[in-house]
Amino acid sequence: MSDHFIGLPQAIEMTTRYRSKKETILDPAYRGKDILLLSETFGREAFDALLSEQDCTSIRIYFGMNENLQVRAIIVGANSKNEDLLPQAGLMIPASTGSKIVEEGTPCPPACPPPSPLNG
């Protein structure tokens, strides 16, 4: 399995390309509406909760869309068989019990982090 790490120059190149192209890949009707976020920030406790699930060996990120058509990260744990760790379908399980699904990050825009080489 890959170590998943890249250097800062590659990260800067990729995020710069994304910022410069993100509007051009959208249908003109959706441009300028913050459909594609620059970033989404999550607290550490969300990842700690996922990684503490029984047999959680990795984190998986799906992309979803909220009611405002913004693309958002949907984050779940995955087990040693590469299966998603999910709450039982159809049940409203409190976040304090069972497997968890993380979303509700802080979107940028509008709540963007301080300037860095990755956000231009």
The yes-or-no verdict on residue 119 having pLDDT over 80 is: yes
pTM of the predicted model, to two decimals? 0.83
Say how far apart CA 12 and CA 59 lie, in whole Å. 23
pLDDT value for 98: 63
The yes-or-no verdict on residue 92 having pLDDT over 60 is: no
Single-letter residue type at 108: C
The yes-or-no verdict on residue 91 having pLDDT over 60 is: no
Say how far apart CA 47 and CA 87 lie, in whole Å. 16
Instruction: Please give, one letter per residue, the 3-state secondary structure of the chain.
Output: CCCCCCCHHHHHHHHHHHHHHCCCCCCHHHCCCCCECCEEECCHHHHHHHHCCCCEEEEEEEEEECCCCCEEEEEEEEECCCCEECCCCCCCCCCCCCCCEECCCEEECCCCCCCCCCCC
Radius of gyration of the chain (CA): 16
Tokens for 55?
């047999």
Mean pLDDT value of segment 100-109:
88
**At which residue do the structure tokens 């913050």 appear?**
34
- pLDDT tens string 42-53: 999 999 999 999
The yes-or-no verdict on residue 59 having pLDDT over 90 is: yes
pLDDT value for 31: 92
The yes-or-no verdict on residue 29 having pLDDT over 80 is: yes
